[in-house]
Structure 1
Amino acid sequence: MVRRAAWACSAGLALSTAYEPIALPWVLPVAVAAFLVCLDGVPVRRAWIPGLAFGVGFYFTHIYWMKQSLGIAPWVALAGVEALFYALFATAAAAFLGRRLWPLWVAASWVTMEVWRSQWPFSGMPWGRLSFAVVDTPAQWALPYVGMVGVSFLLALIAALLAWLVRTRGARWHGAAALVLVTAALLAPTLHRERLPTIGQVTVAAVQGDVPGPGNDILYDYRQVTRNHVDATVELADRVAAGQAPAPDLVVWPENSTAVDPFADEETRSGIERAVAAIGVPVMVGAIVDDGPDYALNQGIVWNPSTGPGDRYTKRHPVPYGEYIPFRQYLDLNFGQLAQITRDMRAGTRSTPLRVAGVPVADAICFDIAYDDGIRDQMLGGAQLLTVQTSNATFIFTHQTDQQFAMTRLRAIETGKWTVVASTNGISGIIAPDGTVVDRAAKRTTDVLLDRVALTDGVTPGVRWGRTIGRTCIGATLWGLVLVTLTYRRARRVRSHAPATEEGTT
């Protein structure tokens, strides 16, 4: 078992290389297949051991940026919890291995695990889904058809079929045929890419104001952060007035472009109003807004030049132990960086797009881009453009920013929408519906991206049916486990009633 666990841990390490910063996506099906081979012949009750080893090898490496940015304790806590999900998956996979059509059951179990850990505990942690590794590969074109969940299922199924061929030493031709068919299904959209109809165009400005001081502490000089965004917007207005730049239809500021409540702080409010009046179009302001003495809201506020603040989007997935402390009333966590979280951030529930300059805009704030629900709801509500307001200053010296930007590019492909990313000091960019980065700001600089983007109408099949695919996988997994349990009990009952042989065995 020790040797199996070591091999499983190595497979997890290999899987982490499929993502940024190494980004070798071809490793993905091989690494998952190697993990499944490690489970071959392992009793169900002990399968959690190589499963946990795989999870440790993968997740501790995949989110190593958390140790670099937040410290050892949050990194160990989060990676440890996520590794447990792979232990649970291994238990289910071991129950299915060797049974009829087991690759399908295993692939469904993998998706069930991903969906589960993307929602629980607390708001979950989607980082590390298989589909997040397919950027710049032919597999990305399947996203508009089957969504993130569907692509994860197909990748897991390909890995399971590879493991099947290894277990049978390639002797079963139908296993090879199934592998070819599933791979062809994943890659078929390269021949006919899903495109939503264009219904108009707008000029968008994404402002990256930069973070003073060390660059990784948004609170080091939070007022200067706001001034940077105000000054960059006013400078853009001056260039527009001088005929040096086209006038934008809307402007996007990042999350934490103001770290204090603009409704309560006069200096912050006056700065925002000066910038909005100068540019003369709505500005999406990223602000921390008070919600009583003990709570706050992380919001994107549409600030109009004539009517002031209007429509708002509140971050749907605040980060536990980063933006709020679960069970604060029961635990004394007044130490380290946790001591800086003096009040908890409430989660938003908005499911409709914002109206910005007459355009229905789906908004996502930072980690929201990794979750399916908020983006899906706003797309179904008629969004024609996707914006991402993010403050990655805490992670600016790590590869978290690259992983998140890769996810954002995949979301643009999945939704079929132009995507505008505004970050405090990186990575800001303008992304086309095919994932192409048409404009990008360098990290730790002040820059304004000004581009003409298209508005697209409708919803891709992947967005519309992604949740259904996930629920189907969950239902199939539960049903499969019920069947396995009933079969096991029936077999035990038959053995217990079998007549004894002369040697006394049954």
Structure 2
Amino acid sequence: MVQTAGADRSGSGPGSRGPVTEVPAGGSARRPLPWWLSLPAAVGAGLALLVSFPPYGRWWLAPVGVALFAVAVHRRRPVAGFGYGALAGAVFFVPLLSWTNLHLSNLPWLLLSGLESVYLGLLGAVAAYVSPVVDRMRWSWPAVTGVLWVAQEALRDRTPFGGFPWGRLAFSQDESPLLRLAAVGGAPLVTFAVGVAGGFVVAALWRSWRAVDRAGLVRVAAGLVGAVVVVLVGFAAPVGGTSSTGTAVVAVVQGNVPRMGFDFNAQRRAVLDNHVNGTVELARRVAAGEQERPDLVVWPENSSDIDPLRNPDAAARISVAADAIGAPILVGAVLRGPEPGQVRNVGLVWQPGTGVEERMYVKRHPVPFAEYVPLRDIARMVSKEVDRVASDFVPGSEPGVLRLGPAVVGDVICFEVAYDGIVRDTVVGGAQLLVVQTNNATFNEAEARQQLAMVRLRAVEHGREALMASTVGVSGFVGVDGRVFDGTGFNTAEVIVRELALREGRTIATRVGFWPEVLLVVAAGMVVAGAVVLRRRSRPGAAVVVSGDVVGKDSEER
């Protein structure tokens, strides 16, 4: 029933302890890959995931990356699974997040990349632990792979300090048919589908090739076809699901900055003037009949880092722009207060003729260690760079639902577009149009295009046309099917104008909210719990083989 102590010991020296596999009754052990294959598989997984994201945009490599990840950790001890998973994470996140070190030291970039890699390490440990059980039901691999990836992202999106959702599988699918699934189950469902596609690839290819027969080839073909079908099923997802209640002509002013980097803050008057001048020039074109008058104008985050509520000169300059264009402007501003040493990152409604209104959106999710410093004394011991954040941004408490002229807009600021609940709250609150105000002057074009991919997913998810307004680019408009219109260049001054539909109603994803993620995470928990039970109820007398050596019953648990 089990392999005996006289088993083949080839490739193992006395006392050696390699990867663990359980010998199933009546058959040979499905062993993990040797380390010299698992290592490149982990590296390949990280590279495939990286290249699936903008600016590379090879979305079809995301399932390949998932498959290589699974191959690298399959049948490993959890500790080894953690190591291979973290390696894949480092290969993925270090270059993906390289934009975080452009104007600072390397330390914050490497710390953030290392932290994010830990989550893929945890995924690798869990996947390694459950893989012997999943082996018994080969075609459960796709679903198990999908739910484990969703669970990993759910944890990473929320911890620590509110999480950092950059690099979710869903955000690599901006050009994929799977993007349409966002209208049904949001980003978690898209991630699940990518994981399922990768799981089909693994289920097809994980087999012994020493004796290839017709039945084996049929299974391989079925698995690969399954992966393709998962991708193509995206075309069946209903996009839209909302109705138009009218239109609004919207202008986005991308004023640019005199100099890229964190020092743009020292040029804040020049940045404000750039956006004023861009708006005044648009007004000149309107007066000349060269351009339709906009119903509302959107300036990006940090377009006025001079507090216009306290600085009369800044207020006067913004009023010049609003009066010239004759339309309300959504100004990205930094306001001092409410307490000494505190500031707020806001979207501020500025009306022509009357000036500022009380209506504003205060960013609800300031970025830790960039807009505020948690545990500042401890963080300073790691790097004195934290003192660049001289004042802590305080969060708002209300969704960014603002009326500008004929439109009710859902405003989110910068990285908030990555957080499911923050965007959904604006739509539930009545937003007819999604607006993302961002400042990419401290990063680079890769970061801007990764952020635009998130805007595309949100437009599909909630059936709302959307726009991204950036200080330096990339800015653009997005349709409810995820297509980008009038995209700008990077590090340029541009003004774009487009008529957008104002929409009402809710997609399936908006209605169900976080429940798809909850159900998928619960399913992942059930997989792990089931694996624990089944491994502890292993067959009587079952032996554990370590690199060809029988080391005794249940030694894998030790």
Q: Which moved more, 1:258-267 or 1:38-47?
A: 38-47
2:83 equivalent among 45, 49, 66:
49
Partner of residue 390 from structure 2, selected from 328, 342, 348: 342
3-state SS of paired residue (1:23): coil
Letter in 1 for 2:288: A
CA contact (8 A) 1:287 1:298 kept: yes
1:391 alignment partner AA: N
In the alignment, residue 80 of structure 1 is paired with which amino acid?
G
Counterparts of 1:290-305 in structure 2, within 5 Å, are 290-291=336-337, 292-305=339-352
User: Relative to 1, partners in 2 of residues 1:246 and 1:110: Cα closer, same or farther, differing over 3 Å?
Assistant: same
Deviation at 1:455, TM superposition (A): 0.9
Give the 3-state SS of the residue equivalent to 1:95 in structure 2. Answer: helix
Is residue 2:290 matched to residue 1:256?
no
- Does residue 356 of the first structure (1) align with residue 399 of the second (2)? no
Deviation at 1:177, TM superposition (A): 4.6
Give the counterpart of 1:212 among 254, 258, 283: 258
Query: Is the CA contact 1:154–1:182 (under 8 Å) kept in the aligned structure 2?
Result: no
Is the contact made by 1:413 and 1:433 (CA closer than 8 Å) also made in structure 2? yes
Distance 1:422 1:108, change over 3 A: same
CA–CA separation in structure 2 for the residues paired with 1:428 and 1:479: 43
Contact 1:425-1:443 at 8 Å conserved across structures: yes
RMSD: 2.5
1:430-469 CA-partner distances (Å, limit 9, x unpaired): 2222222221232222222111111111122123335111
| 1-structure distance, mates of 2:383, 2:62 | 39
Q: CA deviation at 1:369?
A: 1.3
Q: Deviation digits for residues 49-72 of structure 1, max 9, x if unmatched?
A: 111111111111221222334331
Out of 411, 415, 423, the residue aligned to residue 470 of structure 2 is: 423
Whether 1:59 and 2:93 are equivalent positions in the alignment is: yes
SS in 2 for 1:477: helix
Kept in 2: contact 1:237–1:278 (CA 8 A): yes
| Identity over aligned pairs, percent | 35
Alpha-carbon distance change, 453 to 480 in structure 1, aligned in 2, over 3 angstroms? same
Matched residue of 1:132: which SS?
A: helix
Are residues 47 and 393 of structure 1, via their aligned partners in 2, closer, same or farther at CA, if it must alter by over 3 Å?
same
CA deviation map 1:254-301 (0-9, x unaligned):
000011221112211121122222222211010111122222111101
Offset at 1:79? Answer: 0.4
The partner residue of 2:204 within 165, 180, 184 is 165
What's the offset of the Cα at 1:175? 7.8
1:148 and 1:466 in contact (8 A); partners too: no
What is the TM-score of this pair, normalised by structure 1?
0.91
Partner of 1:227: 273
2: CA distance between counterparts of 1:357 and 1:88? 49
Deviation string for 1:152-179 (max 9, x for gaps)? 0011011112111112358396786576
- Secondary structure of the 1:382 match is coil
1:190 alignment counterpart:
235
Paired position in structure 2 for 1:502: none
Residue 238 (1) aligns with residue 277 (2): no
Pair 23,120 (structure 1): closer, same or farther in 2 beyond 3 Å: same
Deviation (angstroms), 1:6: 4.1
- 1:241 Cα deviation after fit: 3.0
Question: For residues 192 and 493 of structure 2, what CA distance do their matches in structure 1 show?
Answer: 41
- Output the CA distance in 2 between the equivalents of 1:17 and 1:192: 26
- Matched residue, 1:388: 436
**Structure 2 Cα separation of the partners of residues 283 and 357 of structure 1:** 9
Tell me the secondary structure at the aligned position of residue 219 of structure 1. Answer: helix
- In the TM superposition, what whole-angstrom CA distance separates every residue of 1:100-137 from its partner, at most 9, and x where no partner exists? 32432232111010111011111211111111111222
Task: Provide the rounded CA distance (Å) in 1 between the counterparts of 2:236 and 2:296.
Answer: 35
- The aligned amino acid for 1:414 is E
**Cα gap change, 1:416 to 1:337, in 2 (>3 Å):** same
Structure 1 pair 330/74, CA: closer, same or farther in 2 (3 Å)? closer
Question: In the alignment, residue 144 of structure 1 is paired with which amino acid?
Answer: A
Letter in 1 for 2:479: A
The question of 1:21 aligning with 2:55 is answered: yes
Structure 1 residues 70 and 392, CA gap change in structure 2 (3 angstroms): same
2:116 to 82, 101, 105: 82
1:123 and 2:162 are equivalent in the alignment: yes
- CA separation in 1, counterparts of 2:232 and 2:158? 29
Matches within 5 A, 1:282-293: 282-291=328-337, 292-293=339-340
Change (3 A) 1:172 1:324: farther
Cα pair 1:258 1:288 within 8 Å, conserved = yes
1:203 counterpart = 2:237? no
SS in 2 for 1:394: coil
Give unmatched runs, 5+ long, in structure 1: 497-504
The residue matched to 2:403 in structure 1 has which SS? strand
Query: Secondary structure of 1:77's match?
Result: helix
Distance 1:216 1:459, change over 3 A: same
Task: Give, in whole Å, the separation in 2 of the partners of 1:61 and 1:368.
Answer: 22
Shift of 1:250: 0.7
Say whether the 8 Å CA contact 1:299–1:314 is kept in structure 2: yes
Counterpart check, 1:410 vs 2:457: yes
Q: Deviations over 1:407-451 (max 9, x none)?
A: 222222222221122111111112222222221232222222111
Sort the Cα spacing of 1:173 and 1:350 in 2 relative to 1 into closer, same or farther, 3 A.
farther
Could you tell me whether the CA contact under 8 Å between 1:414 and 1:460 is conserved in 2?
yes
Please say if 1:145 is aligned against 2:184. yes
Shift of residue 329, structure 1, vs aligned partner: 4.5
Structure 2 gaps of 5+ residues are 1-33, 209-214, 543-551, 554-558
SS of 2:486's equivalent? Answer: strand
Q: Secondary structure at the match of 2:442?
A: helix
Q: 1:190 & 1:403 partners in 2: Cα distance?
A: 23
Three-state SS of the structure 1 residue aligned to 2:327 is coil
Distance 1:288 1:363 in 2: 15
Distance in 1 (CA, whole Å) between partners of 2:236 and 2:538 is 49
Whether contact under 8 Å (1:127, 1:370) holds in the other structure is yes
- Residue 342 of structure 1 aligns with an amino acid whose one-letter code is A
Mapped partners of 2:101, 2:244: distance in 1: 43
Q: Secondary structure at the match of 1:308?
A: strand
One-letter code of the match for 2:342? Y
Report the structure number with the largest CA radius of gyration: 2
- Letter of the 1:284 partner, please give it: L
Distance 1:335 1:181 in 2: 49
Measured against aligned partners, the alpha-carbon deviations of 1:313-371 in whole angstroms (never above 9, x if no partner) come to 12222222111111014443596542221111122232362122242211111111111
- Partner amino acid for 1:190? F
Alpha-carbon distance change, 378 to 214 in structure 1, aligned in 2, over 3 angstroms? closer
- The total of aligned residue pairs comes to 497
Q: Give the counterpart of 2:70 among 25, 36, 55.
A: 36
